[in-house]
Copies of this chain bind each other. A is one copy, B any other.
Amino acid sequence: MGNMIIGQSGGPTAVINSSLAGAIKAAKVGGIEHIYGMRYGIEGFLQGQVVDLGEYFSDLYDLSLLKRTPSAFLGSCRYKLPSRDKDEETYKKIFELLEKYDIDKFLYIGGNDSMDTIQQLSDYAAEHGRSERFIGIPKTIDNDLPFTDHTPGFGSAAKFIATSMKEMIQDNESFGATDPRIAVVEIMGRNAGWLTGATVLSKDSDCGGPDLIYLPELPFDEDAFIERVEKITREKKSVVVAVSEGLRLADGTLVCNYGIDAAHTDAFGHQQLSGASRMLSNALSFRLGYKSRAIEFSLLQRCATHMASRTDVDEAYNVGYIAVSKILEGETGQMVTIQVDSREPYVAHYELHDVHGIANVEKKVPLEWITPDGAYVTKEFIDYVKPLVIGSINPYYAAGLPKHLKIHKKD
């Protein structure tokens, strides 16, 4: 039996290492001799950066600690494979490396862009009659992959964001001042509003939740926004607004592009989005004369493993485990998906879906899950997200701080 290699790609999450842990466990159970890891995804692999994971996980404690380690243990990349007809050399090189390590099982943990890598490699293998197999393991806090109910990483980010929102709303309400105190809180998710919508979970008997929620699925109307905030301040002094980083005006302009910072794009041509909250907070200050604070969750929301959702950790582990089981059964060109049979009580199972149709596609929030005024989410949205944040996993502490597993530096 050939060996296996696994890589991590794209933005890190709180639970991307749980998927790695599940895959390693399944590989050990399946009797795979060498379990290799790519450092820095396919980009590092192309440079020959390969580690033998066997030496890292000789006991179960290490796998448990791996599940409690944020970000990509193996390192990540944002690297898009060239198209097969334009640059066959890259593909030849990859398959040469696979041969060198006697690898016939290739697993890749990532989002839309990473599934493109699985698609390209499995198509190339098919076109050239090769026996290597390729399976994708879903991962993204943005929750924007199609054909899976949700993606590992989303639930934990949602749990941390909703928890911090509750805490910040308590903070913002603590002053009984006569002047309004406004906070505009910016949340990641690119063109999908899943994470921003999840702030609604902070609404409970002990917290009013955000007053307004703006998702990127609908064009943003600044005048209506200002008017709504003004109206709320006539009833209460603390106003907290949740906005997606990817908000756009009706003409397609990104709200954050009103900013002074230069725009950057990554290897996939995605622009770095940041600054919508600052723009809107300034607009409130200028147009209403109220004090307004812009708050960005920024990198804090991607890797808050200290507040991970148990449901999310377990599902991340399971998709990793099942990916290896399925590749051992001979599957290729597929991604593992999560299918939810029931949300209350919560029951889910796992399937495979052809990676064609997943790669490079963004699943957005259904428009009917946004309220007619465009400034909140509906009960359907709440019912959807609620089970995904259930349960906690305690960090292992040393000297008062969560302990993480660190890959050895070979150099």
Contacts and interface: CB of A to CB of B under 8 A. Distances in A.
Interface of A: 8, 12, 39-40, 43-44, 49, 69-72, 75-78, 159, 162-164, 166-168, 170-177, 183, 201-202, 204-207, 260-262, 264, 272, 274, 282, 285, 291, 293, 295-300, 302-307, 309, 311, 386, 389-392, 394, 397-406
Given A69-B170, A260-B282, A261-B282, 18 more contacts: A8-B174, A40-B176, A43-B176, A70-B170, A70-B171, A71-B171, A76-B174, A76-B175, A166-B404, A167-B304, A171-B303, A172-B299, A204-B399, A204-B401, A206-B403, A206-B405, A207-B404, A386-B400
A111 to B, nearest CB: 14
A254 B200 CA distance: 37
Contacts of A260: 260, 282
A401 B162 contact: yes
B77 A300 contact: no
Contact of A300 (B174, B295, B398, B404): B295
B397 A164 contact: no
Contacts of A39: 176
A184 to B, nearest CB: 11
Contact of A397 (B272, B304, B311, B392): B392
Residue of A201, A282, A306, A406 with highest tally of chain B CB at under 10 A: A306
A159 B401 CA distance: 7
Contacts of A175: 40, 75-78
A188 to B, nearest CB: 12
Contacts of A264: 291
Contacts of A297: 300
B201 A401 contact: yes
Given A174-B12, A397-B392, A400-B309, A70 B299 contact: no
A61 B377 CA distance: 34
Given A75-B176, A163-B401, A166-B401, A406 B206 contact: yes
A302 B295 CA distance: 13
A168 B205 CA distance: 32
B400 A390 contact: yes
A185 B264 CA distance: 20
Contacts of A261: 282, 285
Interface centre among A205, A207, A307, A390 (most CB of B within 10 A): A307
A391 B400 contact: yes
A170 B309 contact: no
Contacts of A295: 296, 298-300
